[in-house]
Structure 1
């Protein structure tokens, strides 16, 4: 990471750092940010978090001693007047707080947050790309607008963190970000918190406590926000199709969002509400994921979905869409399967293959766990993040 802009010393005892997230729930993107804040030494860093409103993320952060800020104008939807006012409020807040480093996450907060940090004179601006949204835009004009925003903000960014090599190439080739400012840092998992339940009887007992379905049936699970990017509709339609064909599995969808009512209606109309279960938001995914036999993620785009790494850490094989980000998590045919996105038949076929073969599930799950221990331990990721911060700040910082 040569040629990165170094921060000047401000004379304060601790480094003031702000992480910016849009929503305060504890989904994958937010948990990445929470883990980064958790592992920063509070004697070295004065840690701050900004979201649109209080919620599970800010509660968990506050319990760690992180100072939480809220900007209710911060919305996912695009509204030029509201977004400009939000930018102004963020800029003034960053000027007032005199942060040494602002670290933004995802698209909307990445644009407004980086613009505000740059205008406020924040010495170090870092952005993590959790998957570029603009390549999947439905309309060319929308794609060009999103791409232009990302390109402009790339010029204000001292370090752009990509979770996979495909996004790094997009940043360099399409957004024209200086390659020296773009770094690939894969997500990581706490391999002690996320681990398999080795005794089958213990897994059945835990399922009995937590779920309403038959605890001895194979469990197929999806964990993610219920919005179109994650494609939960495909998971539900696959479950309906498989059950109509006699599948022995129980299907669980953990998450919430604007598609909840639509999915609930589809499940009810198909008459499978006793076998397809909507669990709502689940903050304790470390105890939820080990109860699965198969993890499914049919997303349209991703950076590097933490839930897939967590599933592998728990010894659970995966069926996921064949897209950048997912490809970094799943070794096709070894620890899971990659299927074409929006392909209901391929998704259902691969799920059925794993549901009907317990030996295959065990071998793939074991391979996934071994990969996480070797390559995706959270300790390695945090060390790399701290090395990046050290280069930007111009002084050594340790966890």
Structure 2
């Protein structure tokens, strides 16, 4: 159970808890976006954040602009930057000695999480991914933490067999836009946001697109990692081979998701595996209908037939059919868009979900388990 909400009088007399956030990467990415929103929404009367990154980058710069104390353990170096997650452990332990709680994020920080727990500081190990194999190091990191937190019930279920002292689900959330997006009339734009790799399933959407009768454009936004370069090249070649190369566009990751969504008619997310589906929440908050695969955390986000559609993964013909169905009916898109906004307001609004973080920090700091 979480502790009771503090009164305004107690907030005035009590010092804020010092929470050290440890984030695995300072570049743009899903986990980073989630935690930037959390840190930005914290009540500074209750929580004083410090953020540690293994190296500097745009996410660190954004937090500094918000007045957050940020520490970068080193510089990003070609080919060896992943090792910075381990070489930053001495810096982590030094900062942990000044914190009430250390909140580590990502399965990629298992060793730093173990080090923080062994140092005797109260730790939250927050998991956002669904690894294919849960090895002994990751299991140990989860078991040693004072609390293992998960981004969704799907994610919590994935780790259900791993022993943990305490478990909590901290649902990913977004700021609620004051008004819905209003795409301009013209050529409809189908958008998919996310790192470009096979797990995200851009090929499934690309295979469905030639079957779509509408003259829509298809836009992919996302980073291409070293291991996914061949996959990304194959996508572009496939678009040309299918005769749709003039209507399919590949973009770098965007720093302006609201701007992209403002011009989006329909967001499609054909990921083969997903612990949550943050881009779906972002689109729904903007009043845009969504289509996603019926699996993982996406089932927790999308109300099938209400705010969008959940489809069997790999059913290319049905995917094309649902895309055409929505593009042909602006009134249905409007109803689904408004239903999506209502769902986000109820379940995924950072203005209300941030209280889950406040309560968890206060409970752990007071010795609760």
Common fold by TM > 0.5? yes
Q: Could you say what secondary structure the match of 1:196 adopts?
A: coil
CA distance in structure 2 between the aligned counterparts of 1:147 and 1:342, rounded to whole angstroms: 30
- The offset of 1:216, in angstroms, is 0.5
Please tell me whether the aligned partners of residues 74 and 86 of structure 1 are also in contact (alpha carbons under 8 angstroms). no
- The alpha-carbon distance between structure 1 residues 119 and 256, as it changes in their structure 2 partners (threshold 3 A), is same
For the residues of structure 1 that align with 2:271 and 2:75, how far apart are their CA atoms? Answer: 28
Q: Which residue of 1 aligns with 2:180?
A: 196
SS for the counterpart of 2:111 is: helix
What SS does the corresponding residue of 1:155 show, helix, strand or coil?
helix
CA spacing shift, 1:366–1:42, aligned 2, 3 Å: closer
Mapped partners of 1:133, 1:328: distance in 2: 19
1:346 equivalent in structure 2: 318
- 66-75 vs 359-368, greater mean Cα deviation: 66-75
Distance 1:281 1:166, change over 3 A: closer
Shift of 1:381: 0.9
Q: Of the candidates 242, 245, 254, which is equivalent to residue 221 of structure 2? A: 254
Query: Deviation of residue 235 (structure 1)?
Result: 2.4
Change (3 A) 1:233 1:112: farther
Aligned with residue 278 of structure 2, among 306, 328, 337: 306
Conserved? CA contact 1:103–1:127, under 8 Å: yes
Tell me how far apart the structure 1 counterparts of residues 44 and 249 of structure 2 sit (CA, whole Å). 41
Q: Deviations over 1:160-195 (max 9, x none)?
A: 2223223323333x21324xx1112322221136x4
Q: CA deviation at 1:71?
A: 4.5
Q: Deviations over 1:113-149 (max 9, x none)?
A: 312212333x221122223222xxxxxxxx2xx3433
Aligned with residue 32 of structure 1, among 17, 31, 34: 34
Summarize the Cα distance change of 1:235–1:357 in structure 2 as closer, same or farther, 3 Å threshold.
same
Query: SS of 1:386's equivalent?
Result: helix
8 Å contact 1:147–1:175 — kept in the other structure?
Answer: no
Q: What is the Cα-based RMSD across aligned positions, in Å?
A: 2.9
Write out aligned runs for 1:93-172 (5 A): 93-97=91-95, 98=97, 99-109=99-109, 111-121=110-120, 123-134=121-132, 143=133, 146-172=134-160
Q: 1:232 aligns with which of 202, 205, 210?
A: 202
Q: CA deviation at 1:308?
A: 0.9
What count of residue pairs does the alignment treat as equivalent?
Answer: 349
Q: Distance in 1 between matches of 2:26 and 2:195?
A: 13
Q: Is the 8 A contact 2:46 2:358 kept in 1?
A: no
Structure 1 residues 95 and 163, CA gap change in structure 2 (3 angstroms) = closer
Q: Is the 8 A contact 1:316 1:361 kept in 2?
A: yes
Taking a change above 3 Å as real, the CA distance of residues 50 and 237 of structure 1, as seen in their structure-2 partners, is: farther
Aligned to 1:177: 164
Tell whether the 8 Å contact from 1:24 to 1:55 is kept in structure 2 after alignment. yes
Tell me: CA distance 1:2–1:363, structure 2 relative to 1, closer, same or farther (3 Å): closer
Structure 2 alignment gaps of length 5 or more: 4-13
Q: Is the 8 A contact 2:56 2:76 kept in 1?
A: no
Per-residue deviation, residues 263-322 of structure 1 (Å, max 9, x unmatched): 333333434232111121111112221321211111122222221111111111111111
Q: What does 1:329-368 correspond to in 2, within 5 Å?
A: 329-368=301-340
Partner of 2:18: 16
2:325 match: secondary structure: helix
